[in-house]
Amino acid sequence: MAEEILFTQEGYDKIVEEHEYLVSVRRLEVTEQLKTARSFGDLSENAEYDAAKEAQAELEARIQRLENMMRNAKIVSEDEVTGDRANLGVTVKIKDLATKEELEYKIVGITDADPIMGLISNESPVGKALIGKKVGDKVEVVIESKDASEGTVIRYQITGIQK
């Protein structure tokens, strides 16, 4: 059985919307590109046809990924989120125990993640470490590096959780 993918309602709605657009609009556009490219003649030396076929393959792969996400989706409702533990949909304040830097992240599903905006995925190293923890808990996050043979360990303490 495939692993369930956690979403907020908003995140799930976004992938459903993207899927509908790709199936109803984008698929027709790519089909038209293929028809036009075929009309140019010899397909063995037809760059437009090759590009259209590649676009079609990428489109179908994305549609398939979205369908897989929707099939395995678990929507975390606001009723399930209590605010006493880190979970999808809550904002968590943490302090880096080495640098004393204070950080604030909202934990979201993978499709909504944008670390620059303070939105981290529940599947990211920091997100995984925080899920289920409460204020006062300390967590260790191993950050993998391509350069180092070992990952860097960062220690955080949860200083606040807000629904």
By DSSP bridging, strand 73-75 and strand 119-121 are unpaired
Class of domain 82-162: alpha beta
Strand, helix or coil for residue 27? helix
Cβ proximity of 59 and 22 under 8 Å: yes
Cβ proximity of 88 and 8 under 8 Å: yes
- DSSP lists the bridge partners of residue 46 as none
Strand, helix or coil for residue 163? coil
Read off the pTM: 0.69
pLDDT in tens, the chain (163 residues): 568 888 888 889 999 999 999 999 999 999 999 888 888 777 677 788 888 899 999 999 999 999 999 999 988 877 666 678 898 888 999 999 999 999 999 998 888 889 899 999 998 999 999 999 999 999 999 887 766 567 788 999 999 998 8
Tokens of 145: 């590096």
**Helix then strand then coil, % of the chain, to nearest 5:** 45, 25, 30
CA-CA distance, 130 to 139, in Å (whole number)? 7
Domain boundaries, the chain: 5-75, 82-162
Cα dihedral 9, 124, 96, 133 in deg (nearest 10): 60
pLDDT value of position 125: 92
pLDDT value of position 23: 97
CA-CA distance, 83 to 37, in Å (whole number)? 55
pLDDT value of position 127: 93
pLDDT value of position 149: 65
Report the CATH fold assignment for 5-75: Helix Hairpins (1.10.287)
Cα dihedral 17, 18, 21, 24 in deg (nearest 10): -90
Nearest to 58 by CA among 22, 32, 25, 28: 22
